[in-house]
Amino acid sequence: MKVLGIETSCDETGVAIVGDDKTIHANLVLSQLKEHAAFGGVVPEIAARAHLDHLDTLLRAALDDAGATFDELDGVAATCGPGLIGGVMVGMMAGKAIAAAKKLPFIAVNHLEAHALTPRLTDNLAFPYLLLLVSGGHTQILVVEGVGQYKRWSTTLDDALGECFDKSAKLMGLPYPGGPNLEKLAGECPDPTAALERFDLPRPMLGRPELDFSFSGLKTAVRQHVDSMPGDTLDRADIAALACAFQSVVADVVTDRCKRAMERFTTEYAPNAPTLVVSGGVAANTALRNTLQGLTDTMNMSFIAPPLKLCSDNGAMIAWTGVERLRLGMTDTLDVAARPRWPLDPTAEARIGAGVKA
Ligand code: KG4
Ligand code: ZN
């Protein structure tokens, strides 16, 4: 079985072809870094137009890479939400058109489910597992019970972690994309312990019994530290130290939340091989991966973080979700609508303050 996957929900145009034997026959991602850099963030209208400009070429190139034609496909999967709706429409309509023309099953993919199922493409992982989903728009802890079956245990009460990285990076004067640039600069700090002592940063939610996150206070503290730095231009060493301290408190908070969640998971689910998975764009952060690896080691749990290329948005995770759904007969009709919001666990209680990100 081979499934075509199309991803256009944010600023990456992704097209991939993945088999049910987990072979990635093609996986092409075009990042719109240049298009958005001048604006310091993703501009939805520009993103949608860029997806439109590049999708045809990428589709052709993906078929070439796979040495396949549309006729050899068994299904077409496209992100139908959540995300920037203009971009989602571009990929979804392209996917539907191919499915209609080639009489193939269509799979409407929830982008969050694609992040959640990625570790089953890269590793031999059985349900259930615990998932820390950290991206530009979402920060959640979920139990992945099966395809289409999620229990959301927590979410952010304000900013998502990726958003906090991006906004803090911007405050530090770093160019878009903020998260990876902040991580790179933090690596220049020669003395992380001194950096932590120098910058007093809050660790929101640390020690709280509920598993939720909150990051807007951390971002505000970054702003205050940047504002109080002397001179008109920011000193690179100062900013590197601040970035390093920032990553360190993020690691503390995430570790605390995950430790509690892991305890609850092993008690409530008693899985044979308890596993924590981190996925989503922020899962590319090495400091975070290392901290979570250390935590799971001390708790006798396995830890899976997909390879960096499959953490940020890509078509392979969409195609793989297509495979998972198609083999269970979970296909969609061509009148399925694009959804700017699409929670993985619709029964989860909305949190006060969580707004659209719940
Ligand atoms: O999953 P993703 O590619 O797109 C969404 O679905 O949102 O996640 C993008 C987010 C951005 O906020 C980006 O800054 C962040 O992931 N990110 C990182 C790193 N790489 C990407 N944050 C921290 N460290 C990184 N290395
Ligand atoms: Zn994503």
Structural domains of the chain, ranges and CATH numbers in brackets: 2-117+309-357 (3.30.420.40)
CB neighbour list of residue 72: distance below 8 Å, 6 or more residues apart:
2
Question: Does residue 135 line the site of ligand 1, with CB under 6 A?
Answer: yes
Tell me what pLDDT residue 354 has: 59
Give backbone dihedrals phi and psi of 156, rounded to 5 degrees, phi first.
-85, 145
Give the CA-trace dihedral at 202, 341, 353, 350, to 10 degrees: -110
Residue 73 Cα to ligand 1 midpoint, Å, equals 31
Sign of CA dihedral 175, 49, 77, 154: positive
What does the block give as tokens for 262?
A: 């892991």
The rounded distance, in Å, linking the Cα atoms of 64 and 69 is 8
What value, to the nearest 5°, has the Cα angle with vertex 35 and ends 17 and 307?
40
What does the block give as tokens for 195?
A: 């950096």
Tell me what pLDDT residue 231 has: 83
Residue 83 Cα to ligand 1 midpoint, Å, equals 14
Residue 177 Cα to ligand 1 midpoint, Å, equals 8
The rounded distance, in Å, linking the Cα atoms of 257 and 279 is 15
Tell me if residue 113 falls in helix, strand or coil: helix
pLDDT by position in tens, the chain (length 358): 999 999 999 989 999 999 999 999 999 999 888 888 888 778 898 889 999 999 999 999 999 999 999 999 999 999 999 999 999 999 999 999 999 999 999 999 999 999 999 999 999 999 999 999 999 999 999 999 999 999 999 999 999 999 999 999 999 999 988 999 999 999 999 999 999 999 999 999 999 999 999 999 999 999 999 999 988 889 999 999 999 999 999 999 999 999 999 999 999 998 899 999 999 999 999 999 999 999 999 999 999 999 999 999 999 999 999 999 999 999 999 999 999 999 999 999 887 765 555 4
Q: CB burial class (10 A; 0-12, 13-18, 19+) of residue 263? A: exposed
Best mutation site among 112, 165, 356 for ligand 1 pocket (most ligand atoms within 8 Å of CB) = 165
Q: What pTM was estimated for this model as a whole?
A: 0.94
The rounded distance, in Å, linking the Cα atoms of 278 and 267 is 20
Residue 10 Cα to ligand 2 midpoint, Å, equals 8
Question: Does residue 306 line the site of ligand 1, with CB under 6 A?
Answer: no
What does the block give as tokens for 333?
A: 């009709």
Q: CB burial class (10 A; 0-12, 13-18, 19+) of residue 311? A: buried
H and E: helices and strands count for the chain: 12, 10
Tell me what pLDDT residue 182 has: 98
Question: Does residue 10 line the site of ligand 1, with CB under 6 A?
Answer: yes
Tell me what pLDDT residue 36 has: 83
Tell me what pLDDT residue 358 has: 47
Phi-psi region of 62 (alpha: psi -120 to 50; beta: other; left: phi over 0): alpha
